[in-house]
């Protein structure tokens, strides 16, 4: 079975996660998928296969040498995004020659380089696309397929010397809970890589520092005909505070290392209103300054309208760079493995988060490597077959080079 065959098989499992169920895994389909992977890992001949009650799956490919080699891990997630249905995915492989790809003729759903110019980078390659009615699931079933195909290859080619390799497949990454119950000690690795990146070549060890904020406003509602000098409109307080935040620090005006305040939700009446924000910045000092600014604006609002405004602020995760960068050899190994596989590394910051960030601060340094897909979380998602193959080859080469260097 090729890595492409595996991927096409895996996307038939409906593993869309949910933020509303309050259980782990958040949806039963993830458990079904994990149990299917257990059988597959058993057939391959992996050892120490465990699937716990939360659906964290771990397994071992034993070392095939007596050399002292660090134990490394490879991690991917079972779930797909709640943003779009992952049920009844119908992928097809297109021999792409350029131009538009009609995903669904009857509904006029078209994958076009006018909207997605990166599509043109994959001319004369085979591309896996959707039928325009679901997401594809390359995030992160591409990673699952690459890891399992890689360990199968190493198992079938004992002439490639390698140390002990651990693999893990985790639930609920897409709702930010993928590391919640991950047992780092049980995994037992010196370091690991998540295979959860996008386009071919991506190598990421920097991500946002992240916080979430909810600002609540208390108003005073009286009849509008008699409101003079009495009414306090909570919704207007919310709008006023929102206007105080720097407009240039919104997501639509930022790129690269620039952070932002992102208004993710709002509700309001005269009596009560609320604003929900996520705060992001790669630089820890700038991140702390953003949180301080929000606290100062809430204080200012309460000076103008005593007792009107409260702030709930919580950190979500931090930039893994401060953990990974002191161990530069982890990055260097992945960089060299990509080059040896014929891939040009693209080292860049993640404008988002990753399970690897949380795992890094839990004691498992864990940069992120490409799985090859693009346009994640929607109907226009696609996966170049060559990129998926190169992801698998990079995993193999990391194991091989590590043994050679040890």
pLDDT in tens, 7-35: 999 999 999 999 899 999 999 999 999 99
pLDDT tens readout for residues 246-302? 999 999 999 989 999 999 999 999 999 999 999 999 999 999 999 999 999 999 999
Q: Per-residue confidence at 386, pLDDT binned at 50, 70, 90?
A: very high
Q: What is the model's pTM?
A: 0.88
Is the pLDDT at 106 greater than 80, yes or no? Answer: yes
Which residues belong to the active site? Answer: 79, 173
Domain boundary among 317, 337, 372: 317
Spatial CA neighbour of 290 closest among 228, 212, 216: 212
Q: What is the mean pLDDT of residues 162-173?
A: 97
For residue 289, what is the enclosing H or E element? helix 284-304
Q: What is the mean pLDDT of residues 158-181?
A: 95
**312 shares a domain with 330:** no
pLDDT tens readout for residues 194-238? 999 899 999 999 999 999 999 999 999 999 999 999 999 999 999
Instruction: Give the integer Cα–Cα distance in Å for 357 and 324.
Output: 9
Domain boundary among 317, 352, 369: 317
Is the pLDDT at 53 greater than 90, yes or no? Answer: yes
Structure tokens at 315: 């950190």
**311 shares a domain with 332:** no
**122 shares a domain with 20:** yes
237 neighbors 302 (Cβ within 8 angstroms)? no
Is the pLDDT at 355 greater than 90, yes or no? Answer: no
**244 shares a domain with 224:** yes
Going from the C-alpha of 111 to that of each of 89, 128, 139, 332, the distances in angstroms are 16, 12, 18, 36
For residue 150, what is the enclosing H or E element? helix 138-156
Domain boundary among 287, 317, 347: 317
Strand runs (DSSP E) across 209-291, as ranges?
209-218, 260-268, 272-281
Domain extent at residue 79: 3-206+320-405
Spatial CA neighbour of 29 closest among 89, 87, 91: 87
Spatial CA neighbour of 402 closest among 16, 64, 85: 64
Q: What is the DSSP letter of 232?
A: B
**231 shares a domain with 184:** no
Spatial CA neighbour of 71 closest among 184, 205, 179, 164: 164
**290 shares a domain with 339:** no
**306 shares a domain with 350:** no
**266 shares a domain with 359:** no
pLDDT of residue 320: 94
Name the β-bridge partners of 262.
Answer: 278
pLDDT of residue 352: 80
The CATH number that applies at residue 114 is 3.40.630.10
Domain tally, the chain: 2
Structure tokens at 94: 């297109």
pLDDT of residue 176: 85
CA atoms within 13 A on the CB side of 2: 8
pLDDT of residue 406: 86
Q: What is the mean pLDDT of residues 137-159?
A: 97
Instruction: Give the integer Cα–Cα distance in Å for 398 and 391.
Output: 11
The CATH number that applies at residue 285 is 3.30.70.360
Instruction: Give the integer Cα–Cα distance in Å for 136 and 128.
Output: 8
pLDDT of residue 381: 96
Burial of 113 (0-12, 13-18, 19+ CB in 10 A): middle
Is the pLDDT at 353 greater than 80, yes or no? Answer: no
| Tokens 């720097």 -> residue | 246
Burial of 70 (0-12, 13-18, 19+ CB in 10 A): middle
Spatial CA neighbour of 124 closest among 102, 99, 97: 97
User: How confident is the prediction for the chain on average, in pLDDT?
Assistant: 96
Q: Per-residue confidence at 350, pLDDT binned at 50, 70, 90?
A: confident
231 neighbors 194 (Cβ within 8 angstroms)? no
pLDDT tens readout for residues 68-88? 999 999 999 999 999 999 999
- Identify the top-confidence range among 37-41, 171-175, 223-227: 37-41
Instruction: Give the integer Cα–Cα distance in Å for 126 and 384.
Output: 6
Q: Are strands 202-204 and 346-347 parallel, antiparallel or unpaired?
A: parallel
pLDDT of residue 351: 86
**398 shares a domain with 299:** no
Is the pLDDT at 372 greater than 90, yes or no? Answer: yes
Q: What is the mean pLDDT of residues 90-108?
A: 94
């Amino acid at each position: 079975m090729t890595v492409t065959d595996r991927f096409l098989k895996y996307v038939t499992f409906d593993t869309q996660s949910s933020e509303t169920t309050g259980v782990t895994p958040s949806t039963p389909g993830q458990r079904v998928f994990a149990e299917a992977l257990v059988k597959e890992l058993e057939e391959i001949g992996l050892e120490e296969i465990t699937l716990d009650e939360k659906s964290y799956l771990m397994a071992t490919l034993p070392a095939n040498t007596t050399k002292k080699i660090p134990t490394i891990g490879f991690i991917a997630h079972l779930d797909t995004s709640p943003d779009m249905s992952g049920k009844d995915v119908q992928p097809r492989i297109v021999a792409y020659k350029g131009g538009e790809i009609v995903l669904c003729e009857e509904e006029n759903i078209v994958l076009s380089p006018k909207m997605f110019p990166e599509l043109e980078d994959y001319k004369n390659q085979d591309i896996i696309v959707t039928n325009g009615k679901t997401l594809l699931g390359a995030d992160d079933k591409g990673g699952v397929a690459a890891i399992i195909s890689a360990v199968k290859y190493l198992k079938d080619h004992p002439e490639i010397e390698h140390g002990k390799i651990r693999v893990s497949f985790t639930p609920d990454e897409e709702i930010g809970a993928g590391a919640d119950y991950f047992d780092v000690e049980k995994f037992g690795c010196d370091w690991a890589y998540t295979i959860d990146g996008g386009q071919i070549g991506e190598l990421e060890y920097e991500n946002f520092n992240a916080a979430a904020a909810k600002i609540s406003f208390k108003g005073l509602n009286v009849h509008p005909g008699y409101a003079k000098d009495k009414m306090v409109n909570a919704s207007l307080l919310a709008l006023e505070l929102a206007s105080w935040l720097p407009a240039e620090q919104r997501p639509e005006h930022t790129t690269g290392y620039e952070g932002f305040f992102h208004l993710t939700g709002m509700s309001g009446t005269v009596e009560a209103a609320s604003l929900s924000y996520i705060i992001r910045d790669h630089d820890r000092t700038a991140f702390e300054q953003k949180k301080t600014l929000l606290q100062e604006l809430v204080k200012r609002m309460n000076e103008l309208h005593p007792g009107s405004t409260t702030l709930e602020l919580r950190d979500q995760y931090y930039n893994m760079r401060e953990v990974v960068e002191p161990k530069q050899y982890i990055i260097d190994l992945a960089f060299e493995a990509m080059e040896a596989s014929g891939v040009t590394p693209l080292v860049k910051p993640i404008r988002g988060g990753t399970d690897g960030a949380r795992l890094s601060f839990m004691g498992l340094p864990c940069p992120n490597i490409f799985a090859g897909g693009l346009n994640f979380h929607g109907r226009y998602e696609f996966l170049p077959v060559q990129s998926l193959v190169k992801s698998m080859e990079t995993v193999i080469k990391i194991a091989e080079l590590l043994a050679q260097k040890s």
